[in-house]
Amino acid sequence: MAALTGAYNFSKEGFRLTDDMKKNFDDNGYIIVRGLFDNKEMTNLRKVFEETDMIANHGLKVGDGSDKKTKIVVWTNPGSDVSGVMARCDKVVNTCEKLLDRGEVYHYHGKLLYKDAFTGGAHLWHQDYACHIH
């Protein structure tokens, strides 16, 4: 297995985008920021998806070319729940603006892919995948 590149640790005391992070983003199209959200924030986020009707009422099943399905929920309004607040918080927005180096960023859409244990299908990754299911 290849070594993971572009992985960094979040520090509340002094997290800032470095030249190395920007280069990894420019070269690979992503960076991983471990610990960006703490355990309490992640617990609250899980509750939004697991304890609300979002998945049950708004999820779609997408075939993977075999007999299995991946489930997906896509939304365009970040809303005022925990998921929307997290998408708009300073540590996300400021980092994205610096990575993209294009000024102010906006929420385009949110996407959650999920599978039931031992039953879910493969997901064919593509950046505009959600456009194919509208």
Whether 77 shows a pLDDT value over 60: the answer reads yes
Q: Which backbone phi and psi does 113 adopt, to 5 degrees?
A: -105, 135
47-66 pLDDT, tens per residue? 888 887 777 777 888 777 77
Whether 97 shows a pLDDT value over 90: the answer reads yes
H-helix or E-strand spanning residue 112: strand 110-114
104-117 pLDDT, tens per residue? 998 888 888 877 77
Rounded Cα–Cα distance for residues 14 and 4 (Å)? 23
Q: Any bridge partners for residue 63, and if so which? A: 69
What is the mean pLDDT of the segment spanning 70-86?
Answer: 85
Report the pLDDT value the prediction gives residue 121, as an integer from 0 to 100.
Answer: 67
Report the pLDDT value the prediction gives residue 112, as an integer from 0 to 100.
Answer: 83
Whether 133 shows a pLDDT value over 50: the answer reads no
Bin 10: left if φ > 0, else alpha if -120 < ψ < 50, else beta: beta
Report the pLDDT value the prediction gives residue 123, as an integer from 0 to 100.
Answer: 62
CA angle 101, 113, 60 (to 5 degrees): 120
Report the pLDDT value the prediction gives residue 102, as an integer from 0 to 100.
Answer: 86
Please report where in the chains the tokens 């998945």 appear, as a residue: 55
